Amino acid sequence: MIGIGRKRIIGLYVGTGRLHVAAVERNRFGWKPVLIERSTALSGGGPEGGPPALRELLRQVSPDRRTRWYLALPRSGFFFRNIPLPAMSLEDALDAVQGMVRTLVHLPLEEIYFDVQMVRKSDRTIRALLVYSLRQMVDPYRDVFRETGHEAGLEAIFPFNIGAAAYLSLKRFPFPTALDIVYRDGHEIVVIDSLGCRASFFTENRDVSEIADFLKNLGLDAEPHLSLREEANSSPLLDDDIMPFLPDIGANRAAAALACGFSSQQIVSVDGRPTRLKLFPFWKAMGAIVVALTIGCTLWTTLSYRTIERNQAVLSELREKRNRLEQQLHPLEKNKQSAEKGKQLIADMDEFMSHRPQLFRLINDIAERVPDGTWLSRFTFSEKEISMQGQSRDAIKTLEALRASPYLDQVKLSGSVMKAPNGLEQFTMTMKRKEEKAADHGQIE
């Protein structure tokens, strides 16, 4: 099947004295047919004219790593063997067939190229189709691709019937069917089903009885359903609406080769390369995974947006409720603060009243002891320490007078004594009460 990175696919059919070409190119709108120089039909000059005609065409096309070539050749150069196998893995089935090749072919193994098409039937058994050809028939075509620089782009070399099976599958033709293919050197009856090429019968002379027996053994009607002649058919064989970029196979046999570039079937390549099994439909699986992930992400994103919208609505409602509660709580908070202040004030008043006699006695004692002319501008009374600021004619005498009080201890000046503009000395004193039971009564100025 077509993969990532391929920009142009070219299908070739090299018949006896004729070369058919079909090419498509991918753009942003999909695949569209393109014209390759002299692509309608090129004369090869007789039985040996195939490779020369191919060389003439390839020389006109510049090598491009994104171009893929598929080459179909007439049936007469290939041989087929059908090998039914029991249910097993495709890898084991391929090993089994490759081990039997020497006994299955009628030519020396070193003189042939072969490939095996493996398909699994509905009952899990395996149908193996061994396709082989003489190297001397295939090598001239390989040499042409190598000489013209297109060897890297050569995807497969295979008999025409393999491409015809891929073409009918892409065009959704009803299966099973028998296809009568007319070549210049003989007739081929190929039976095709949904899995690909089922069986092939080639004869130089069209023997009706042999064809009937061949089809009867496969459970089909005695007459083929479709016929392809060497000359171009006058009308299309199939519906052009399905994959319209594929040309009609009756008019251009290169359509069979081109179809292999888009087919999901295993395409054989009889050119010495290893068999490429279709073990896992990678791109189909990846496409399904991408689609599933896209749908899942879309659903998840939609659900997430809806959840966010619901949560935002709930959050907005909760904010409104909070604002209303805060408005209701604000007066209560003020009342609480007022109550706490009143409670503290009452406690202070009670404490003050309980110690009022000691405080008044202390103040009276200080007033009696300080020298005349002493003014106290600030008096701070705490539990264990008293601090006061004031003015006096002589701060030292005031200090000594207070030290003589029976209620005070550790009376001392705090800081330096300064002269005020009125001539008095400014001082700050600290002292402690000798009684340790007094509580904090605040600040008195």
Judge whether 1 lies within some domain. no
Q: Are residues 359 and 273 in the same domain?
A: no
* 399, 268: one domain: no
Beta 418-419 vs 425-433: how paired, if at all? antiparallel
Q: Which two tokens stand for residue 374?
A: 């002493």
What's the rounded Cα separation, in Å, for the pair 245 and 380? 106
Q: Give the pLDDT score at 441.
A: 44
We report the CATH number of the domain holding residue 365 as 3.30.1360
Written as six digits, the tokens of 45 are 């000059």
Distance CA(251)–CA(265), nearest Å, equals 23
Question: Are residues 275 and 374 part of one domain?
Answer: no
Q: Is residue 440 part of a domain?
A: yes
Q: Which of 254, 279, 304 is the last residue of a domain?
A: 279
Percent of the chain with pLDDT over 90: 40
pLDDT at 422: 84
Q: Which of 14-18, 160-164, 329-333 has the lowest mean pLDDT?
A: 14-18
333: pLDDT strictly greater than 70: yes
Do both 162 and 43 map to the same domain? yes
Nearest Cα neighbor of 248 from 238, 257, 258 is 238
Distance CA 14, CA 50 (A): 6
Does residue 339 form part of some domain?
Answer: no
Is 379 contained in some domain? yes
Of the candidates 279, 303, 323, which is a domain's last residue?
279
Would 286 be classed as within a structural domain?
Answer: no
Output the pLDDT for position 132.
Answer: 97
250 and 393 share a domain? no
CA neighbor of 119 nearest in space, from 58, 175, 67, 194: 194
Find the mean pLDDT for residues 63-88.
94
Please count the other Cβ atoms lying within 10 Å of the Cβ belonging to residue 436. 8
Residue 310 lies in a domain: no
User: Given this model, what pLDDT does residue 88 score?
Assistant: 94
356 pLDDT higher than 70? no
Long-range contacts of 172-178 (CB under 8 A, 24+ apart): 172/242, 173/238, 176/218, 176/220, 177/225, 177/226, 178/215, 178/220, 178/221, 178/223, 178/224, 178/225, 178/226
Question: Does 189 map to a domain?
Answer: no
Q: What does the pLDDT average to over 314-335?
A: 88
Q: Which of 26-30, 164-168, 220-224, 360-364 has the highest mean pLDDT?
A: 164-168
Span 175-190, mean pLDDT?
87
For the segment 68-75, the average pLDDT, to the nearest whole number, is: 95
Specify whether 230 is located in the same domain as 138: yes
Question: Is pLDDT at 38 greater than 80 in this prediction?
Answer: no
Nearest to 373 by CA among 394, 388, 403, 396: 394
Q: Quick one: pLDDT at residue 280?
A: 58
Q: pTM score > 0.95 for this model?
A: no
Task: State whether 271 and 373 are in the same domain.
Answer: no
Can you tell me which residue has the tokens 């039997």? 100
Lowest mean pLDDT among 207-216, 218-227, 243-252, 321-330: 218-227
- Average pLDDT on 348-365 reads 73
**Residues 167 and 25 occupy one common structural domain:** yes
Q: What is the pLDDT of residue 49?
A: 52
**Number of Cβ within a 10 Å radius of residue 92:** 11
The values of phi and psi at residue 29, to 5°, are -100, -5
Residues 275 and 363 in one domain: no
**Do 17 and 157 fall into the same domain?**
yes
Is residue 294 included in any domain, yes or no?
A: no
Give how many domains the chain has, as a whole number. 2
Q: Are 274 and 366 found together in one domain?
A: no
CATH number reported for the structural domain that contains residue 117 in this entry: 3.30.420.380
Q: 53 and 40 in contact (C-beta within 8 Å)?
A: no
Distance CA 136, CA 272 (A): 12
Please tell me the least confidently modeled range out of 59-68, 85-94, 433-442: 433-442
Q: Output the pLDDT for position 286.
A: 79
Q: Are 252 and 380 contained in the same domain?
A: no
Which residues contact residue 114 at a Cβ distance below 8 angstroms, ignoring those fewer than 6 apart? Answer: 101, 105, 130, 131, 132, 133, 270
Tens digit of each residue's pLDDT (9 = 90 or more) over 200-236: 988 887 777 777 788 888 877 756 678 887 655 444 5
- Res 443 pLDDT > 60: no
Q: What is the pLDDT of residue 81?
A: 95
CA distance readout (Å), 377 to 228, 327, 359, 427, 433: 129, 46, 18, 10, 20
Question: Of 260, 279, 298, at which residue does a domain stop?
Answer: 279
Q: Which domain holds residue 153?
A: 8-175+226-279
